[in-house]
Structure 1
Amino acid sequence: MLNLSNLRIVFLRSFIFFACCVVLQAKAATTSEMQNALRTCQTEFSDDASRRLVCFDEVAQQYASGPAVAAIHSSKQAALVKTVDAKTGYLARKWHLNAQDELHFTDLESHQLNYIVAAYSNNPNDVPTSPSRPNTQDRDLNNNDLHFQISLKTQLLNLSDWLPENQWVHSARLWGAYTQQSFWQVYSASQSRPMRDHNYSPELILSLGLNKPGEPKQWTVMPDMLNLGVVHESNGRSEPLSRSWSRVYLQGGWQLNDRYSLLFRPWWRIPESKSNDDNPDISKYMGYGDAVLRWDNEANTTAASVTLRNNLRSDNKGYVKFDVQYKPLKSESVRFYAMLASGYGVSLLDYNQAQTMFGIGFAIGE
């Protein structure tokens, strides 16, 4: 006959055994779910090492939260892919909208695209002139240029940690940027291959990553980021070929979906004195802002964009540029590049002369 004490011991041992079995099964299930999540990272991002690493980090963070939380997340592998796409979309990776991204002053990154192309223009500006800088000197330009652009930026300050608690802004960074476009008449051997023009653009940008509270429909038009910038552009020439202007702009960025992004940037020209203004009518031709629509393929090996400007006047002077980048090699940065631009302002010196320019070559960055 079993006494009460023995019954308690048997019950306690049975309970401990049952609890151990439950814990072991839970751990086995969690391990299996984590393996499935890691497998999702490998299969969905097999051609993109950077996005695959972000996916692995996301899985690690989820499972560090504990089995219960991990099980909830890992039951929806599609949600994992969506999270990675949000963190590695064009705007997020270009402007580091994730507040946890660590950058240093010496970490130079591409600002606009860096490229070199063999270019052809159907209407080179042989006698550039402006209302305040009359000119009669004929430069007798060749239709072909070697055209290249160097554009870099660096983070000056990460202001994200200084942000007060709020539901609107989740990251803030101050950037310094510099862009230079050059047009080299390398095919004009008879004229000693002169430089047709250089355009220099230093820039200061405050970039904000924005939240859309709860993603309600009324917030869908809210941008994912805002850039407040001031930029000066000049060609460094003496009169009568000197051209320059300075602007303040507000740029909104929308990550429309995993593949498409939109940038819209109105600007205001900072006034200059009449005697110093090289190009008083530049807004008539360059307009009051620009818009860029970009597409990336799923593997991030191909990208295409269209840039638009218009003066929004009855005379309808504008500019449109199409470009395509293709990454055929395993290199993360070097790409084939083709561009087609038409309208006013292909270069600063050509702000008031329309032309169509086609170029093909190589690009670095994005």
Structure 2
Amino acid sequence: MIKACVFALLLPVAATAADNPKNETQTKTQKEPATTKPVENESDIAVEPPQPESIEERAKKDDGLVEQRVNREKSTAENPFVITPHQPNYMLPVYYRKDPKPNSYPGELENDENLDDVEFKFQLSLKFPLAFKMFGGDNSLWVAYTQQSYWQAYNSGLSSPFRETNYEPEIFMSFNVSDDWFGIKPKYINVGAVHQSNGHSDPYSRSWNRIYASFIFETDNAVFQVKPWYRIPENREDDNNPDIEKYLGYGEFTGVYVMGNYSVDFMLRNNLRGSDNKGALQLGFTFPLWGKLRGYVQYFNGYGESLIDYNHATQSIGTGIMLTNWL
């Protein structure tokens, strides 16, 4: 009798639960705290590319500043989708030249007011290995190409022309040297031949051919290069710049100093003539930006920044990004 009464009392409750199956879910939902809506696609969020190790860290692992670059160049030689850098690759969208000369653009310009003081300078430089360990020695043979352009990108009055482009193909052989001179390590000696021209016809054509030897030394935090050259003589009638050595001299001295993930580079040229001394100085500073990209500031003062200006002193400064550094 008691069991029958209990069953009779519970039956309406069971029926109510069966008639409202959402009650339990609604109760749980009311008790659960509100949650933030998850991101539907995480790939939509910009993520910084992995930043490479600092130059100093790579140098510690690979027995020196020069060696860390050489080891990475060897790895690129085996990758069909990678181009090996030669000289630095950079873009300077804001590059200010003080007082551009009238004859620094291959066109009929009456005065320098037609040229903008601010232009876009960039350099592309790559190399390709032809052979390693020739004749059983620790050496390598390379071909290289460097292009440096000065683009009047913001000069709508002249339809944004390329004011000057210098083309520089070369071939050289690199030798590893292991001797130590007074704590300075002459790591490599390069011997090569190089052609440089601006691709214009007369009277704006500029070109010369040289053979050179470069001696690369290294200290704990710096790399230096002494690079003398000899100009291959040309027919006097065909020579568009017979006095180029008077302004660009017979060689150059370059260097890179490393401070953690920052670097300072320089280039010095001088004709070594006491009575008519001429030369050039270039300074650069790089710093990390985003991933492998580096900020770059460059300053130049002197002769020979470009072939069209080889016999005119120029002063310029610019800022932009460096894609590949010396080290």
User: How does the TM-score come out when normalised to structure 1?
Assistant: 0.68
Deviations 1:37-85 (A, max 9, x none): xxxxxxxxx9728987x8xxxxxxxxxxxxxxxxxxxxxxxxxx95x25
1:303 paired with 2:303, answer no
CA contact (8 A) 2:56 2:258 kept: no
After superposition, the Cα gap between the structure-2 partners of 1:308 and 1:50, relative to the gap in structure 1 and judged at 3 Å, is closer
Structure 2: distance between partners of 1:123 and 1:154: 38
Find the counterpart in structure 1 of residue 304 from structure 2.
345
Find the counterpart in structure 1 of residue 115 from structure 2.
141
1:324 paired with 2:262, answer no
**Which residue identity lines up with residue 321 of structure 2 in the other structure?**
F
CA contact (8 A) 1:206 1:229 kept: yes
Deviations 1:132-190 (A, max 9, x none): xxx98656321111111111112111126722xxxxxxx20111110001111112111
Q: 1:193 aligns with which of 133, 156, 160?
A: 160
After superposition, the Cα gap between the structure-2 partners of 1:288 and 1:105, relative to the gap in structure 1 and judged at 3 Å, is farther
CA contact (8 A) 2:167 2:197 kept: yes
1:242 paired with 2:192, answer no
CA contact (8 A) 1:260 1:296 kept: yes
Structure 1: distance between partners of 2:225 and 2:122: 23
Shift of 1:346: 1.1
Structure 1: distance between partners of 2:134 and 2:296: 35
**Which residue identity lines up with residue 120 of structure 2 in the other structure?**
L
Structure 2: distance between partners of 1:50 and 1:94: 9
**Which residue identity lines up with residue 249 of structure 2 in the other structure?**
G
Ranked by relative contact order (alpha carbons within 8 Å, sequence separation 6 or more), the top structure is: 2
Deviations 1:97-151 (A, max 9, x none): 99x868348442111111111100012121259xxxxx98656321111111111
Find the counterpart in structure 2 of residue 174 from structure 1.
141
Secondary structure class of the residue paired with 1:190: helix
**Which residue identity lines up with residue 119 of structure 1 in the other structure?**
Y
Aligned ranges 1:1-366 → 2 under 5 Å: 48=53, 84-87=61-64, 89=65, 91-96=66-71, 103-104=77-78, 106=80, 107-117=82-92, 118-128=94-104, 138=111, 140-159=114-133, 162-163=136-137, 171-212=138-179, 215=180, 220=183, 223-257=186-220, 259-298=221-260, 301-314=261-274, 315-329=276-290, 331=291, 333-366=292-325
Greater percentage in helix: 1
Q: Report the more deviating stretch, 102-111 or 119-128.
A: 102-111
Greater percentage in strand: 2
Shift of 1:93: 3.2
CA contact (8 A) 1:123 1:354 kept: no
Structure 1: distance between partners of 2:263 and 2:222: 10
After superposition, the Cα gap between the structure-2 partners of 1:237 and 1:97, relative to the gap in structure 1 and judged at 3 Å, is same
CA contact (8 A) 1:97 1:209 kept: no
Structure 2: distance between partners of 1:48 and 1:222: 23
Deviations 1:3-25 (A, max 9, x none): xxxxxxxxxxxxxxxxxxxxxxx
- The alignment of Structure 1 onto Structure 2 pairs a total of residues equal to 270
**Which residue identity lines up with residue 98 of structure 2 in the other structure?**
N
Structure 2: distance between partners of 1:191 and 1:365: 32
Structure 1: distance between partners of 2:110 and 2:301: 25
After superposition, the Cα gap between the structure-2 partners of 1:47 and 1:186, relative to the gap in structure 1 and judged at 3 Å, is closer
Secondary structure class of the residue paired with 1:284: helix
Find the counterpart in structure 2 of residue 15 from structure 1.
none
Shift of 1:219: 5.9
CA contact (8 A) 1:104 1:155 kept: no
Give runs of ≥4 in structure 1 deviating > 6 Å: 49-52
Structure 2: distance between partners of 1:96 and 1:160: 18
After superposition, the Cα gap between the structure-2 partners of 1:249 and 1:105, relative to the gap in structure 1 and judged at 3 Å, is farther
Structure 1: distance between partners of 2:296 and 2:52: 20
CA contact (8 A) 2:184 2:218 kept: no
**Which residue identity lines up with residue 124 of structure 1 in the other structure?**
P
CA contact (8 A) 2:100 2:115 kept: yes
After superposition, the Cα gap between the structure-2 partners of 1:51 and 1:325, relative to the gap in structure 1 and judged at 3 Å, is closer
CA contact (8 A) 1:105 1:155 kept: no
Q: Which runs of 5+ in 2 are unaligned?
A: 1-50
Secondary structure class of the residue paired with 2:308: coil
Q: Report the more deviating stretch, 199-208 or 103-112.
A: 103-112
Deviations 1:278-298 (A, max 9, x none): 100000000110111211123
CA contact (8 A) 1:253 1:262 kept: yes
User: How does the TM-score come out when normalised to structure 2?
Assistant: 0.75
Shift of 1:229: 1.3
After superposition, the Cα gap between the structure-2 partners of 1:119 and 1:226, relative to the gap in structure 1 and judged at 3 Å, is same
**Which residue identity lines up with residue 89 of structure 2 in the other structure?**
N
